[in-house]
Structure 1
Amino acid sequence: MLLVHLLAAAKGDGTLDLVTATGRHHSIGSGPPKLTLRLHDRAVERDLLLNPRLNFGEAYMDGRLSVDGGTIYDLLAMLMSGTEVQGALGRAAHSLSPLLRRLQQYNPMRRSRQNVEHHYNLSRQFYQLFLDRDMQYSCAYFPDPSMSLEDAQEAKKRHIAAKLLLVPGMRVLDIGCGWGGMALYLARRTGARVTGITLSSEQLAVARQRAQEAGLADRVNFELHDYREFAANHRGVFDRIVSVGMFEHVGVPHYRNYFDAVHDMLNDDGVALIHAIGRLDGPGATNPWIRKYIFPGGYSPALSEVLAVVERSALFTTDVEVLRLHYAETLRHWRNRFDAHREEAKKLFDERFCRMWEFYLAGAELAFRLQGHMVFQIQLARTLGAVPLTRDYMVNAEHELGSASTGSAGLRPARTPESAA
């Protein structure tokens, strides 16, 4: 049976019992079975051979395959820890993906808005089931692995703010502001005046409501804009730009437009901080199931793809940090919280949606644990003297932000040699 050979090659440690739609058992590995994979119709076997990267997730969503003795996370962990093997057509599609990705990642403004609405215009009530209280839908930061999700997301905001060298009154742009948590944090803790832009009407409404409730509407403004159209009317306006979890939606063909926009919107002493998912194993292509069901138009780049464009944008790269397993831990928290609230999610949507979300959270976590995904933070500036010569200021600012009370007037950065002169 060809599927048995495919699974045997893909499987890492552990023993898998494959049960076909006709009831035949195939033991894959040695020792007692740890997991059982059941196929519920004969066409599943064919589908998995033709395009496993797409059809495995679809079959799980549709209930055409199921797992006994564990969860979909356990099964994916077994399969993703081995050597990735694809069927003949799957290999052909994968080999063509670098050629096709310019089309897959072609995100003009209208398409970008559709892509964002596909994922982020799900209800606020749904995301509240598994996110932290501040609704941070991006990688948390775990200085201590035992931290709660709430504390780790607060640490993420603090870590980013420390790299922005903020002082009261600075004008900050948040590109892809989500539900507004980062913008509100910066305004509250540093005294900055923040503009957040998003393409999600659902997120925009929530962010504006939160700003009103926090009494920060006079210092934080949220707008529905694409970064390209916004840049055309805001040249040199901002002291700082921050973008968290948005760059994955830009698409490689638009990187030059993106960094040119960042450059043009910063003033001469401006600093930007880009926080995004990347890959450690070089350029690749988005998993077809993720592209179809979760993030259409999305792509997590290698740093080599990003920095090559930055070098041509008249921006200077002043700091790069790689966060390796922090997103794996973030996704573990999200996965456990979603599982605890699964019945509530089912009332909002349906069983197929819940199985889709289970597959997404499990596969995403394992991509960070086992397959070279990571998060990078790139600090950029228009001039070499815009930030201090050493990273001590980041540590000092992070410590001060951690000990500062809510409503702090803000932190003053260390003076650079240029500013001291």
Structure 2
Amino acid sequence: MVGQLIQSGLLEITYPDGTTRTYGDGTGAPAALAIRTRGALRQLCLQPELALGEGYMDQTIDIGGNAELEAVLRVLIRNRDPKRFPAYLRLVERMRFMLRGIVQRNNADSSRANVAHHYDISDDLYRLMLDEDMQYSCAYFGGPDVTLAEAQAAKKRHIAEKLLIEPGMRVLDIGCGWGGMALTLARDYGARVTGVTLSQNQLATARARAAQAGLSDRIDFRLMDYRDLSESFDRIVSVGMLEHVGVPHYGDYFSKVADLLDSDGVALVHTIGRVAPPITQSRWITKYIFPGGYVPSLSELLDPLERSGLWQADIEVWRLHYARTLRCWRNNFDANLDTVRGWYDDRFIRMWRYYLTVCIMAFEDQEQCVYHLQLAHKRDTVPLTRDYLYAPRCQLKPDHGGAVAVSRSAMTRR
């Protein structure tokens, strides 16, 4: 099976009986792994993608450190041609793809459980891995020497500029995380923000941060499903949440955004996506990291988006920014391993390193990107060019509540 799959590159495999074989055409950087047990070998034949991750976690498959793991994953990804899969694997993948509409039905209870699986493990783990603002989404790197903190601040600024926020505007943050975006919009732009999350940990941290910043009167963090909201908002922002919605609910999601958005409003959806046709979600990622999660292709979003009645004011594509973000996170994780070992066992550490590394590879070697969907009810709510995003910042002035916000009164929007 490996000989049929690996056509390019160089992959060396040591089998449980000690035999070592080499696959590929010998080009590129060499990659090597060792399969320690016959059980791991059997699982690799039956469900290779899941078995590779589990074998790495359980050490029944030995790959080595980050560089070695990247090399193996890169060879496998670059040779991933479903046409060369054995017939039974093609059938399984086809069935999984056809059933995704059933598997991904995320009601309120399942959505809450899925969120808790990933986000409620420990705020401390995320604090040591992320930037100080705890931004757990793609950063925006403006140059080679930009730090993670600077790139995350640039991401928030870029989003805020796209939202065209004026002081006092009512802003909804769907999937507000630990509150960093809401804090920025309230503190720096004078907005009044409602943030919703399904994570108990994130809610507690976000509320504590708002209180510490003296912004509790301008930010309302709630533990609730966005589908239960009924107010109207001038602006809506959603960063890294659409990946948890699921294919059957894209229509519900965009229709709800349209219903909640004021007639003159602007929405900005920041999401991981694919620039290629849809495929099945990674079984390993679904089982261990993001149950209920799915990375949509743009084609899957356009039909429900069109039916929502919203204008697609702008669609921006970020390439490789997330790979660089993930590398920063993995560096921070590795730099704090002594601390992490006090909280988790070695299997968890290998799981988390595999998660970060396989995601890096997805953005560097697969058709994965980040989309910015800027939406509005009216075609002329947003400026007709992107010049406003890069023009010199207008003079800052305090709004009636004392917060410092950006004034755009001198800007021409049409």
TM-score (norm 1): 0.91
**C-alpha spacing 1:31/1:160, structure 2 compared with 1 (3 Å):** closer
Alpha-carbon contact 1:120-1:202 (below 8 Å) kept: yes
2 CA distance for matches of 1:301 and 1:364?
A: 15
2 CA distance for matches of 1:31 and 1:226?
A: 50
Match of 1:73 among 70, 73, 79: 70
After TM superposition, the structure 1 stretch with the greater mean CA deviation from structure 2, 408-417 or 41-50, is 408-417
Q: Report the equivalent of 1:107.
A: 106
Q: Report the equivalent of 2:336.
A: 341
Q: Report the equivalent of 1:400.
A: 393
Q: Secondary structure at the match of 2:342?
A: helix
**Deviation at residue 97 of structure 1 after TM alignment:** 2.3
Q: Secondary structure at the match of 1:386?
A: coil
After TM superposition, the structure 1 stretch with the greater mean CA deviation from structure 2, 66-75 or 174-183, is 66-75
**Deviation at residue 6 of structure 1 after TM alignment:** 4.9
Q: Report the equivalent of 1:279.
A: 274
Deviations 1:321-376 (A, max 9, x none): 00011111111111222122223222212111111111111111111111100000
Q: Report the equivalent of 1:44.
A: 40
2 CA distance for matches of 1:31 and 1:97?
A: 33
Match of 1:259 among 254, 259, 265: 254
Alpha-carbon contact 1:279-1:372 (below 8 Å) kept: yes
**Deviation at residue 74 of structure 1 after TM alignment:** 2.6
Aligned residue type for 2:216: A
2 CA distance for matches of 1:48 and 1:216?
A: 52
Q: Report the equivalent of 2:6.
A: 8
RMSD of Structure 2 on Structure 1 (CA)? 2.2
Moved over 6 A (4+): 401-406
Aligned residue type for 1:76: L
Alpha-carbon contact 2:395-2:406 (below 8 Å) kept: no
1 CA distance for matches of 2:136 and 2:302?
A: 25
Alpha-carbon contact 1:49-1:87 (below 8 Å) kept: no
Alpha-carbon contact 1:51-1:87 (below 8 Å) kept: no
Alpha-carbon contact 1:128-1:135 (below 8 Å) kept: yes
After TM superposition, the structure 1 stretch with the greater mean CA deviation from structure 2, 66-75 or 184-193, is 66-75
1 CA distance for matches of 2:394 and 2:360?
A: 29
Q: Secondary structure at the match of 2:313?
A: strand
Q: Report the equivalent of 2:201.
A: 202
**Deviation at residue 407 of structure 1 after TM alignment:** 5.6
5 Å-filtered alignment, 1:57-68, equals 57-68=53-64
Q: Secondary structure at the match of 2:34?
A: strand
* Structure 2: tracts of 5 or more residues without a match: none
Matched, 1:378 2:373: yes
Aligned residue type for 2:78: S
2 CA distance for matches of 1:326 and 1:352?
A: 29
Aligned residue type for 2:393: E
**C-alpha spacing 1:404/1:182, structure 2 compared with 1 (3 Å):** farther
Alpha-carbon contact 1:35-1:75 (below 8 Å) kept: yes
Alpha-carbon contact 2:396-2:404 (below 8 Å) kept: no
**C-alpha spacing 1:38/1:268, structure 2 compared with 1 (3 Å):** same
Aligned residue type for 2:6: A
Alpha-carbon contact 1:240-1:270 (below 8 Å) kept: yes
Matched, 1:83 2:80: yes
**C-alpha spacing 1:42/1:380, structure 2 compared with 1 (3 Å):** same
**C-alpha spacing 1:68/1:17, structure 2 compared with 1 (3 Å):** farther
Alpha-carbon contact 1:53-1:90 (below 8 Å) kept: no
Aligned residue type for 2:365: L
Alpha-carbon contact 1:197-1:224 (below 8 Å) kept: yes
**Deviation at residue 8 of structure 1 after TM alignment:** 2.9
TM-score (norm 2): 0.93
Q: Report the equivalent of 2:173.
A: 174
Q: Secondary structure at the match of 2:300?
A: helix
**C-alpha spacing 1:284/1:164, structure 2 compared with 1 (3 Å):** same
**Deviation at residue 35 of structure 1 after TM alignment:** 3.8
1 CA distance for matches of 2:94 and 2:41?
A: 22
Q: Secondary structure at the match of 2:168?
A: coil
Q: Provide the aligned length of Structure 1 versus Structure 2.
A: 406
Alpha-carbon contact 1:189-1:401 (below 8 Å) kept: no
Aligned residue type for 1:50: L
Alpha-carbon contact 1:51-1:86 (below 8 Å) kept: no
* Structure 1: tracts of 5 or more residues without a match: none
After TM superposition, the structure 1 stretch with the greater mean CA deviation from structure 2, 205-214 or 306-315, is 306-315
Q: What percent identity do the matched residue pairs reach?
A: 49
2 CA distance for matches of 1:298 and 1:194?
A: 26
